[in-house]
Amino acid sequence: MPDWHGLPLSYLAYLIRRYTHVGDVVLDLDAHPAAVAATAYLDRVSARLITGRHGLHVRLLPPSPERWTRHAVRRSGPRVDLILAALPQGAQGLTRDGIAAAMSTWRPLLRPGGFLLVGLTAAQPQSGEFSHRATVIAAARAAGFFYHQHIPAVLVPLPEHEPRTTPERPDEANDRRRLLDGRHLPTFRDLLAFGTTATGEENARA
């Protein structure tokens, strides 16, 4: 089973379990097989985004016979409890207005109290560039979402020692403490959670 945009299946399943309950509807905008598998394993209902003459709507995917339970059809309305999205999508850039426009079409698909979980797949910005994370948070707020949580998901085991900034020379042995070509290796994926409604704690901080 392929990873979900670099995120292991076990970690994705943990996130789905954390943000949903048994029988809830989960929509992965890319219909990624890892998301569909994790959703079925947790007795949630997978959904697919359909573009029709009247705009976007959600179609529930029936579970396999061995996963069919009374919970699987408990939440059979037109809206979902959790949306999984990877940004940027296709050729779309990480511009605030473009992301806000996309999120504005996703928000009506969520039930009150539902969550949008965004994985940032773009390379980290260069020095002097605006943070991708800040751009997405600003776009989500413009689309009517409430910022809920930042989750840095570790992708690889972290080194025992902090890498030194000097690149290794060809004649040096690999001491596993240097950077690759003088650059840090990507070790985590930024995940951002947004809600359709604010929690009591978030209202108190506002």
What residues contact 135, with CB distance under 8 A and at least 6 apart? Answer: 94, 95, 96, 99
pLDDT of residue 40: 94
Residue 83 has pLDDT above 90, yes or no: yes
Share of the chain above pLDDT 70, in %: 64
Cα(151)–Cα(193) distance, integer angstroms: 8
pLDDT of residue 118: 95
More confident residue, 101 or 69: 101
pLDDT of residue 72: 44
Work out the average pLDDT over 173-186.
55
Note the pLDDT tens digit of each residue in 9-47: 999 999 999 999 999 999 999 999 999 999 999 999 999
Measure Cα distances from 47 to 24, 40, 160 in Å.
10, 11, 42
Cα(159)–Cα(153) distance, integer angstroms: 16
Q: What is the CA radius of gyration of the chain?
A: 19
Note the pLDDT tens digit of each residue in 51-82: 877 778 888 887 655 555 544 444 445 689 99
pLDDT of residue 50: 86
| Residue spans per domain, the chain | 9-156+184-198
pLDDT of residue 185: 56
Q: Is the CB of residue 158 less than 8 Å from the CB of residue 187?
A: yes
User: Does the pTM exceed 0.95?
Assistant: no
pLDDT of residue 138: 94
Note the pLDDT tens digit of each residue in 122-160: 666 555 556 788 999 999 999 999 999 999 876 666 566
CATH superfamily ID and name for 9-156+184-198: Vaccinia Virus protein VP39 (3.40.50.150)
Residue for token pair 């996309």: 102
